[in-house]
């Protein structure tokens, strides 16, 4: 948990990236403050993927509930059959919308499942980067507050 540990991980990541030189399309992206601290989804995408023009596509499969059981833990799943380089999830109404970016090296399935926080009812967008272009699927997730459970 010390600084040396950090360096070690950084080293491992660099080594891994080097090993993947044979696969030039994998740009190994670590956390980027420029992308994740943006207030607008388009700016976040621009900084994460170098592009912000998106095309809705029914090939992008986004699974998220219509009504969240609890806004603190909302299961979200993104999947596609396209050749994907990266996958991202945007939660429009959160203070900074970009929730996660995932790198999909060759041989890895274009699939990500995680659990997100949503402060209020919001549009959720799955973004798939394929062939340098961004494809999306969106849906609204209702977040209710108040009640016996919430």
Partner 1 sequence: MKKIIRNVAFGVIGLSVAAASVAGPEEDRQAFRKFYENRFPQVQPFGDFQNGVYSILPAAREQWEAIEEFPPYELSIERGEQIYNKTFANGKSLKDCFGEDGAVREKYPHWDKSRGMVVTMELAINECLEANGEKPLKYKKGAIADVSSYMSYNSRGQILNVEIPSDDPRALAAYEMGKEQFYTKRGQLNFACADCHMHTAGMMYRADTTSPALGHATSWPVFRSKWQEMGTLHRRFAGCHTNIRANPYKAQGEEYRNLEYFVSYMSNGLEFNGPAARK
Partner 2 sequence: MSSIRIKAKDRKGLVDVKCLMKHNMETGLRKDKSGKKIPEHWIQDVTAEANGKVVFAAAFNTSISKDPYLAFAYAGAKGDTLKISWKDNTGATDSAETKVK
> In this structure, are strands 67-68 and 60-63 parallel, antiparallel, or unpaired?
unpaired
Closer CB to partner 1, 37 or 142, in the complex: 142
Are the beta carbons of 117 and 64 closer than 8 angstroms? no
Closer CB to partner 2, 18 or 55, in the complex: 18
130 vs 126: CA distance, rounded Å:
13
Least distance CB 142 / partner 1 (angstroms): 10
Return the one option of partner 1, partner 2, none that residue 67 interacts with (CB less than 5 to 8 A, by type): partner 1
The footprint of partner 1 on residues 73-92 (CB under 8 A) is: 73-75, 77
3-class SS at 44? Answer: helix
115 vs 23: CA distance, rounded Å:
30
3-class SS at 11? Answer: helix
Least distance CB 68 / partner 2 (angstroms): 11
50 is a site residue for partner 1 (CB under 8 A): no
Return the one option of partner 1, partner 2, none that residue 138 interacts with (CB less than 5 to 8 A, by type): none
68 is a site residue for partner 1 (CB under 8 A): yes
Counting Cβ atoms within 10 Å, is residue 121 exposed (0-12), middle (13-18) or buried (19+)?
A: middle
Enumerate binding residues for partner 1 (CB under 8 A): 65-70, 72-75, 77, 113, 115, 144-150
């Amino acid at each position: 948990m010390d600084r040396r540990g950090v360096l070690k991980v950084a080293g491992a990541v660099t080594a891994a990236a080097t090993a993947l030189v044979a696969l030039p399309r994998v740009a190994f992206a670590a956390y980027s403050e420029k992308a994740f601290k943006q207030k607008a989804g388009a700016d976040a995408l621009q900084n994460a993927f170098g592009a912000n023009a998106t095309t809705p596509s029914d090939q992008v499969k986004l699974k998220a509930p219509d009504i969240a059981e609890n806004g603190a833990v909302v299961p979200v799943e993104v999947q596609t059959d396209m050749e994907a380089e990266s996958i991202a999830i945007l939660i429009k109404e959160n203070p900074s919308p970009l929730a996660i970016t995932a790198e999909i090296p060759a041989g890895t399935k274009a699939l990500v499942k995680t659990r997100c926080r949503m402060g209020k009812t919001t549009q959720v967008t799955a973004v798939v980067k394929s062939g340098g272009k961004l494809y999306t699927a969106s849906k609204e997730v209702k977040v209710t507050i108040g009640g016996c459970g919430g």
